[in-house]
Amino acid sequence: MNKDILLGKTLEELIQIVLDLKLPKFTAKQIADWLYKKDITSIDEMSNLSLKTREIIKEKFIFGNISSTKVQCSVDGTKKYLYPSNMPNKFIETAYIPDRDRNTLCVSSQVGCKMGCLFCMTGKQGFQGQLTSGEIINQIRSLPERESLTNIVYMGMGEPLDNVPEVMKSLEILTSEYGMAMSPRRITVSTIGIIPGMIEFLNNSECHLAVSLHSPFDEERKKLMPVQNVYPIKDVLEIVRNFDFGRQRRVSFEYIMFKGINDTADHIKELCRILDGIRCRINLIRFHPIPDTPLDGSDDATMEYFKDQLTKKGITTTIRRSRGLDIFAACGMLSTKELIKRQN
């Protein structure tokens, strides 16, 4: 019989587990402490549970810790970790990005991705499977730099809101008192605009939202992001516009700049028009060339001009620094396709 995994279970699920095992209810809280607050990797190390209790749990469950099997270090300090998933021969990557007083972890939510964005290596890999909340939490929990982490972004491999149940569970564990007790203001979930998932995320979490925009024009966006055919950006923006983000919660728009495609004065004008009435920021992102793509990145001067113009029109705009380019850890470059091919 395959044993189930404890890591990634919510407190409610742990309570059900201990009750099913005829253990006292408070055992669930003790297990949650070991899973999310302490630095252990096995059920045997849960030393405030009796030996008998540990044996009962071990009959049906394993801890679920997964160690990274490879780390690559960039000249700029970025590190890329490779993790096996619980699925045979399927791997994910996680990027750790230290930057002065801000240390960000970019986590993956799927093995590969089915969304097929033209500019993205993960998209070119195709979809190989959903990560469980345990596999998402594991990327944070088993990180050597875990203690220094200040921010988590769901911007690694996969579309987080195409894996809503597991992503929402992982967010609960990250932000709950019984879990890792992180402020939701330090967590950002990025989406290309999967509307049902976005509504669930907005209504059931306090974390920041980032929407990948990349073009304000429908036909052009369709070419870059097939999702536009199903969830047009105007419908996505309608939801964002009507949602009360309060004072603390933030929505940002990610905009990769492609030379001669989405970097003209018309784009600036149209961006201002479609974002009118939304309190937001725009992050301009340098395109990182990937194999087999017809796209090219805008030059620095164009990006600066774009930023200045948007700023003048009252939209807070920043140019995101590229990190981890030399180890293929920068935005849009994560992929484990070659590794999966080699293993099969």
Which residues would be at the binding site for ligand SF4 (CB under 6 A)? 113, 115-117, 120, 122-123, 158-159, 192
Cβ distance to ligand SF4 smaller for residue 116 or 289 = 116
Is 120 part of any known ligand binding site? yes
Q: Which two tokens stand for residue 46?
A: 């849960």
Is 113 part of any known ligand binding site? yes
Cβ distance to ligand SF4 smaller for residue 115 or 153 = 115
Is 106 part of any known ligand binding site? no
Q: Distance between CA atoms of 10 and 189, rounded to whole angstroms? A: 19
Task: Name the residue number minimizing CB distance to ligand SF4.
Answer: 123
Nearest distance in Å: CB 208, ligand SF4: 17
Cβ distance to ligand SF4 smaller for residue 63 or 231 = 231
Q: Which two tokens stand for residue 308?
A: 């200045």
Q: Where are the alpha helices (DSSP H) in 104-260?
A: 121-125, 133-141, 164-175, 195-204, 218-224, 233-242
Nearest distance in Å: CB 8, ligand SF4: 21
First and final C-alpha spacing in the chain: 25
Q: Calculate the CA dihedral of residues 172, 176, 181, 187 and round it to 10 degrees.
A: 30
Helix, strand and coil percent figures for the chain, each rounded to 5: 40, 20, 40
Cβ distance to ligand SF4 smaller for residue 117 or 282 = 117
Nearest distance in Å: CB 118, ligand SF4: 9
- Please tell me which residue in 206, 280, 331, 338 is annotated as part of the active site: 331
Q: What element of type H or E holds 191?
A: strand 187-191
- Residue with tokens 């195409």, as numbered in its chain: 162
Q: Distance between CA atoms of 95 and 328, rounded to whole angstroms? A: 10
Please answer whether residues 7 and 137 qualify as being in contact, where contact means their C-beta atoms are separated by less than 8 angstroms: yes
- Please tell me which residue in 93, 135, 166, 254 is annotated as part of the active site: 93
Is 214 part of any known ligand binding site? yes
Is 208 part of any known ligand binding site? no
Nearest distance in Å: CB 160, ligand SF4: 9
Q: Are strands 70-73 and 79-84 parallel, antiparallel or unpaired?
A: antiparallel
Q: Which two tokens stand for residue 285?
A: 């992102």
Active site residue 331: yes
Cβ distance to ligand SF4 smaller for residue 10 or 283 = 283
Is 73 part of any known ligand binding site? no
The letter for the amino acid at 303 is: M
Q: Distance between CA atoms of 61 and 26, rounded to whole angstroms? A: 18
Nearest distance in Å: CB 89, ligand SF4: 20
Cβ distance to ligand SF4 smaller for residue 122 or 151 = 122
Bridge partners of 251, per DSSP, are 209
Q: Distance between CA atoms of 187 and 194, rounded to whole angstroms? A: 19
Q: Which two tokens stand for residue 250?
A: 């933030």
Nearest distance in Å: CB 288, ligand SF4: 12
Q: Distance between CA atoms of 41 and 20, rounded to whole angstroms? A: 23
Q: Are strands 127-130 and 110-112 parallel, antiparallel or unpaired?
A: antiparallel
Cβ distance to ligand SF4 smaller for residue 114 or 281 = 114
Is 159 part of any known ligand binding site? yes
Nearest distance in Å: CB 236, ligand SF4: 13
Known binding residues for S-adenosyl-L-methionine are: 158-159, 190, 212-214, 288
Active site residues: 93, 331
Known binding residues are: 113, 117, 120, 158-159, 190, 212-214, 288
Known binding residues for [4Fe-4S] cluster are: 113, 117, 120
